[in-house]
Amino acid sequence: MSQSLVVYFVQLCLALLLAPLLPGIINRVKAIFAGRHGKPLLQTYYDLAKLLRKGEALSQTTTWVFTLAPAIALVATLCALALLPLGGSSSPLAFTGDFVLAAYLLALGRFATMLSALDTGSSFEGMGASREATFAALAEPVLFLTLMVLTSLSLNAGLDTEHALSLSALFGGQSADTWLGGKIELLLVPVVFFILLLVENCRIPVDDPNTHLELTMIHEVMVLDHSGPNLAIIVYGTALKLWFFAALIAGLMTPDLSPWPQAALRTGIVLLLSVLVGVTESVMARLRMQRVPALLGGAAAMSALALILSQMR
């Protein structure tokens, strides 16, 4: 087995093992800002262990859709994660245009969650699903616009089309090489991805993962009826999705180094990003729901700017 494949598998295992640590770090940072001691760093692991041992309560109005959805969402996220060049080493699954598959695997997971929310028949969960659909529809063009910046870069670098248009090439280290080489406008791309991370993972300023107020929730309200092992799957899937987006940003921030240092750097950046999410959540309030489209519009404008500038020079 080549060294890069070893790095890839080590990083995949690391992602699967460490993902539940990210919410723990975020909560600890928030606690420090608020002058509290906070939950243990490993709280998500404890929660998972507890939930897996519990039974499940099912509402009589729900059908198989409700029980199946968490598994679909988790598997979709897992597959998307496996397509990433984890640790900077190309994924063995990489193929031309795999970023489209990754984007729609995440969409499939979301679709399953929304169906399960609607399956409960609760007005709260219906509202949550409607909000999730709206914001996801607005986030999707931003994601693809930003991927366009990266593909144009990848094609300019002289790679043949077959290799240039995969996640492994787009997030392989050339982006950082380019902005380190003077195309500073490309730093807008990780900023856009950070906004997407906040939107897709339901963090402040878009959603408040800590609130108990059903009427204001987006993601949390969709999973209110889940319990036991299925809830554990959802909690784990959420953590994995956070790792996915953080790994994307890490891919944009690390230059082309030798495999092991790059893998270490990328993992460090993923953990640092969760600190950054914690800081963001501590220093600002949540946006009014009508303002979220404006945030995504701003992100789209930044992507467009990066695209235009990088093409002009």
Q: Which of residues 213-232 bind another protein (CB under 8 A)?
A: 213-216
In the stretch 24-63, what mask flags binding to another protein with x, by CB under 8 A?
Answer: ------x--xxxx---------------------------
- Work out how close the CB of 163 gets to another protein at its nearest, in angstroms, rounded to a whole number: 43
Residue placing its CB nearer to another protein in the complex, 287 or 304? 287
Give the contacts of 26 (CB within 8 A, at least 6 positions apart). 203, 274, 275, 277, 278, 281
Quote the least distance from Cβ 29 to another protein, whole Å.
Answer: 11
Rounded Cα distance between 67 and 58, Å, is 9
Binding residues among 133-152 for another protein as defined by CB under 8 A: none
Least distance between another protein and beta carbon 143 (Å)? 24
Shortest Cβ distance from residue 230 to another protein (Å)? 20
> Interface residues for another protein in 92-121 (CB under 8 A)?
none
Size of the site for another protein (CB under 8 A): 32
123 binds another protein (CB under 8 A): yes
Minimum gap (Å) between residue 210 Cβ and another protein: 8
Burial of 243 (0-12, 13-18, 19+ CB in 10 A): buried
- For 163, residues 6+ apart whose C-beta sits below 8 A from its C-beta are 96, 169
Q: Which of 211, 264, 265, 309 binds another protein (CB under 8 A)?
A: 211
Residues of span 65-94 touching another protein by CB under 8 A: none
- Of residues 259 through 298, those in contact with another protein by CB under 8 A are 281-291
Q: Which of 160, 182, 212, 313 binds another protein (CB under 8 A)?
A: 212
| 33-to-94, 265, 283 alpha-carbon distances in Å | 41, 26, 8
Residues that bind another protein (CB under 8 A): 30, 33-36, 123-124, 126-127, 130-131, 204-205, 208, 210-216, 281-291
